[in-house]
Structure 1
Amino acid sequence: MVGEMLGGLSDARVRSYRMVIVGETGRSADSISDRSVQSLYLWQSAIASAWYEALSVFEPVLRNRIDASLRSWNQAQSSTEDWLENPARPLRKVVERMATDARNAAERSARRRPRNHPRFKAPVTLDDRVSQLSFGNLSALFPLHPPANRADFATGFSAKENLWIHALVSGFPGLTSKLVERHRSSISPPVPAQVEDGYAVAVALEQLRRLRNRVSHQEQILNVDHQERLTDMYALAHAMSPQTLGVMKKMDRIQRTLLLRPQY
């Protein structure tokens, strides 16, 4: 029977989809068929799947670019590339907690390796710890909230702003002014030109992080501005690795799926 799968979902979950259709059509909830609700629910699953696929390509590239930039910068500052265990200032105060979490997670993962694993009993490396960093850990490295009083900082810049200026910016060589233009209104109060790009990257990553978390937890993403998020992801991919962007565009299912959204 059409709509039968809705019986396996909670009433609250089904109602949330029904009310989306009510909001789009102006019709009463009682007049919305289970067929319509189920079609919207299945479309939501399809667009979430398309996003998960795209983000699974984007996130490792983001992690690699950040890691490469910070290894190089940390080596120059403190004679070691290990920016998690031996971070130089101003990175030290930014990564302390995530470094501990990454180390603990990497050690747990190492203990679970079976005897036939090629790295059975091998010591945990920086690569192992970096691989444990979440999207949220990565996005948290960027300046998102401008300081209220720059006079509090000797350089006039916060730790994350200095990290952008001296290290992270090198991971985004292809960044264009278009990203800043799109997100300038979200950066408040206004920030110095030297860090505007960093804030634009931070805003874009934070919005992608929220989307990624909703996708991972099977939460509703019907009200997301999918085209805006896709534009951000593509802009960041181009800034980091144009070759990766080319692959992402070829495999993209997001835009195709958006065209298939049910109409009522």
Structure 2
Amino acid sequence: MTLQVADDSRVRTLTLDRPEALNAFNEELYDATAEALLAAAVDPAVAVVLLTGAGRAFSAGTDLLEMHRMATDPDFVRGQHGFTGLIDALVDFPKPLVVAVNGLGLGIGATILGFADLGFISTEARLKCPFTSLGVAPEAASSYLFPALVGRQNAAWALLSAEWISAEEAHRMGLVRAVCTPDELLPTARRHAEILAARPISSLVAVKRTMTEPHRDAIRAARDRENAAFAELMGGPANLEALAAFAEGRAPDFTSLPPGW
């Protein structure tokens, strides 16, 4: 199993559980997480979902070795939901989503905070949106959600630079509600989740809907723009150089790419 599911006090905890791969999302984990969100959305016994990771990472993002196979192997079999299906499930998730970032968060491990109703982060965690270092485009509607959450300048730095963002900087930006010590992260996130879960589910859903409904069309439009740009760039010279460098354990060299790349 790549995802652990546990219920307590109307809070469903989803734990990404590929610690040997730093909880990187392969197609199996994308499918499992999407299915879990879809199930929680319609389960009358679930009021809140709490998402976290097992081991020292929250999520290292998309599994780059599998991404390389997707870009180069025409026979690669994709999952039922995949990345796009997970994003759709996040966009449509009607109940509060609490995210506890316990360790490294790269790619979707960082941009998923755009969908968090409450975010908490460990002092030992760091975030990175590595898109330009991979020669690809933003994802998960982060090109819309991040500027809305943290402002244009902070969002531009996060999405353009591919530099690490500390827990304290993430809090200062407004990506998370609080920074916690590692021992206090899950208890703090759970305490907040249980406060919400004690409220009427119908009211929680109504509050979230009234907050998110004005943004749904813009989020979907951003996702579509990003997916188109990502598809255009994936498998291109910059992306292939980045993936080859990752597989070979070296830093990518973009200086010898064709003009315009």
| TM-score, shorter chain, exceeding 0.5 | no
Return the structure number with greater strand share.
2
Give the number of the structure with larger relative contact order, counting CA–CA contacts within 8 Å between residues 6 or more apart. Answer: 1
TM-score bin (small chain): under 0.3
Structure showing greater Rg: 1
Q: TM-score if structure 1 supplies the norm length? A: 0.24
Return the structure number with greater helix share.
1
